[in-house]
Amino acid sequence: MTDLLYLSHPLLLDFPAEVTETFPLPGGRFGALLRATAFYPTGGGQEHDTGFIGAAAVLDVYKDDAGRIVHVLDRDLAPGTYAARLDRDRRLRAMQHHTAQHLLSAVLLRLFDLESVSANINGYTPSTVDLAVEDVPAETLRRAEEEVNRVIFENRPVKTYSVDEAGVAALPLRKPPKVSGQIRIVEIEGYDYTPCGGTHCPATGSIGLLKIVRTERINRKLRLHFVAGLQALDVFRALHESARAAADLLSARPEDLPALTQKLLDQVASLRAELEARAGERLANETRALLAEAEAVGGLRLVTRLYAGRPPAELRALAGKLLAAEKTVAVLASFDGGKLSLVVSAAPDSGVEARGLLNRLLVPIGGRGGGDARLAQGGGPGSEMQARLLFEQTRRELLAVQGAGGEVSV
């Protein structure tokens, strides 16, 4: 069996590794077994270490079904002794978060009777602790953070030792051991006793700082996302820099950002309301102007207008307004250089069906469209000259339908 150096020497980052055996693995990789190892294998919610054994990169470390610690290498090594080194940053971050997790779970249980059901340790993204409740007041989490950081600043020793079953029974363990026989205990001196096989800081001061950054409800459990140590510095830096940049844009202080942002949002909302009101006014003015220029065709008022490149949505808005004017029929067109867009409106008392009229106007230009008896819209290939011919066609149709004394049929 491999001697597990990381259990008693979590700060051992360089060591002479004696490779006793290697074997091929899928993907051109190789598994190596060592006489003794400082590389932690994935387990207990903590990810494996990485590093080098001689020139071979250690990509993964796991305990296989036979209980062997397998070091996954990017190349084969002959049996022998090599200088091995762990990724120092990765190990330090894992230790900080793992110890921080013990402390956070201990505080939540001691102060608030909140039990941790599982945990996941990450050095580069927030670590998590799952609680067996759906919600916890923000004030509780705030107080827990304060207590955790108080114990961090006390710099209490973190001790590891083995006890037998009688020893286990004598300790105030936070959770029962998952295995029997000799049990490895991690003790935050006088504060927390937990069975664990991971790597931890030698004293709480090495955690540096703990901050809960997010909560998330998952399957009737509450997941706390927290950062500690080097990652807490990463997070603080990123937040500080983005807050600073946003504040500079507004010539403000970062602490004034929430109030200032609210003020800006209020201003945007009021400007938008003003713009909409003005757009409504413009539309009403334009409608009045069009009606003033309407021509009398028999007993009806006909509004025709050709625009250059005006969006069909605007034509529709205008036509919608014209619909309210009595005995009024409107044919509004817009030519964008290739396509002719048409919107037809027919007041309820005009005796004209907008869709039927539009369909007949679309025939000469081979266009398509749709709508109902009051408002219809369509278009097709055409020209400005064709638009004027369609206005003329409309005049003739209106005169014809009034002469016949009936409604235009679809």
Residues that bind Zn ion (CB under 5 A): 98, 196, 198
Of the pair 101, 328, the CB lying nearest Zn ion is at 101
What CA–CA distances, in Å, run from 57 to 10, 39, 60, 279, 360? 20, 12, 9, 67, 78
Of the pair 91, 355, the CB lying nearest Zn ion is at 91
* Joined tokens for residue 217: 């409800």
- How distant is the alpha carbon of residue 400 from its chain centre? 63
Smallest separation, CB 98 to Zn ion (Å):
5
Of the pair 121, 340, the CB lying nearest Zn ion is at 121
Q: List the one residue out of 306, 309, 314, 347 whose CA is nearest residue 328.
A: 347
Helix (H, G, I), strand (E, B) or coil at 191: coil
Of the pair 43, 370, the CB lying nearest Zn ion is at 43
Smallest separation, CB 99 to Zn ion (Å):
7
Of the pair 172, 258, the CB lying nearest Zn ion is at 172
Smallest separation, CB 186 to Zn ion (Å):
5
The residue of the chain with the least Cβ separation from Zn ion equals: 196
Rounded to whole angstroms, the Cα distance separating 26 from 70 reads: 14
Of the pair 173, 260, the CB lying nearest Zn ion is at 173
Of the pair 34, 100, the CB lying nearest Zn ion is at 100
Smallest separation, CB 87 to Zn ion (Å):
19
Smallest separation, CB 126 to Zn ion (Å):
17
Q: List the one residue out of 351, 306, 343, 304 whose CA is nearest residue 326.
A: 351
Q: List the one residue out of 359, 363, 358, 293 whose CA is nearest residue 328.
A: 293
Smallest separation, CB 127 to Zn ion (Å):
12
49 and 39 Cβ atoms separated by less than 8 Å: yes
Of the pair 196, 222, the CB lying nearest Zn ion is at 196
Sign for the pseudo-dihedral over CA of 181, 186, 188, 192: negative
* Joined tokens for residue 136: 């916890």
Smallest separation, CB 160 to Zn ion (Å):
9
Helix (H) and strand (E) counts for the chain? 9, 21
Of the pair 121, 303, the CB lying nearest Zn ion is at 121
Of the pair 98, 327, the CB lying nearest Zn ion is at 98
Smallest separation, CB 39 to Zn ion (Å):
17
List strand residue ranges (DSSP E) for 113-268, in order: 116-120, 127-131, 158-163, 183-188, 192-195, 210-218, 221-228
What CA–CA distances, in Å, run from 280 to 289, 309, 317, 319, 331? 14, 21, 10, 14, 21
45 and 119 Cβ atoms separated by less than 8 Å: yes
Smallest separation, CB 121 to Zn ion (Å):
8
- Phi, psi of 183, deg, nearest 5: -115, 135
* DSSP-assigned letter for residue 75: S
Smallest separation, CB 44 to Zn ion (Å):
6
